[in-house]
């Protein structure tokens, strides 16, 4: 009889703790998780930045890091490695390199998305060895 009471008390405790934690349907909801490859319109607005470059620099600076290099001249020469810049798109239109981001006002942007080199190549074709950033306008 005593073991039944102990079992019931233990089961009741687990049930009470489970209900108190809120589970999936109760309690305060957790904040939405940020995507590592997307900067949302809300994040852009609250960043306080005035252009796309500054938003990225502030919120996801890893978007702007160079990933790899192009071997442009014979090995052993001073210029055998060139810096590679990512490609910037406004919606689906190619704008150029990362400096173009400074020309895009945050007032006109609804989302900024980073694409790895392979993702960008799949989406837009070759020439994206450093990846791409797509700015989606409002």
Q: Domain map of the chain by residue range?
A: 35-137
Class of CATH domain 35-137: mainly beta
Higher pLDDT, 122 or 3: 122
The residue written with tokens 């852009």 in the block is 44
Residue 51 has pLDDT above 70, yes or no: yes
- Write the pLDDT tens digit of every residue in 54-70: 999 999 999 998 655 54
Rounded to whole angstroms, the Cα distance separating 135 from 103 reads: 12
- Assign residue 22 a region (left: φ > 0; alpha: ψ between -120 and 50; beta: otherwise): left
pLDDT at 104: 98
DSSP state letter for 99: G
Q: How far is CA 82 from the centre of its chain?
A: 26
Q: CB–CB of 27/21 below 8 Å?
A: yes
pLDDT range class, residue 138, cuts 50, 70, 90: very high
């Amino acid at each position: 009889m005593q073991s039944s009471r102990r079992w019931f008390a233990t089961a009741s405790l687990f049930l009470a703790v489970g209900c108190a934690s809120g589970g999936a349907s109760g309690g305060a909801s957790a904040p939405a998780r940020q995507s590592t490859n997307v900067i949302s319109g809300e994040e852009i607005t609250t960043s306080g930045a005035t252009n796309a470059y500054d938003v990225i620099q502030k919120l996801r600076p890893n978007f702007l890091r160079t990933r790899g290099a192009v071997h442009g001249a014979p090995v052993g020469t001073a210029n055998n490695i060139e810096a590679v810049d990512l490609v910037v798109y406004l919606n689906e239109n190619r704008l150029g390199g990362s400096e173009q981001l400074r020309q895009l006002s945050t007032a006109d942007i609804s989302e900024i998305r980073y694409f790895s080199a392979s993702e960008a190549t799949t989406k837009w074709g070759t020439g994206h060895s450093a990846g791409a950033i797509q700015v989606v306008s409002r």
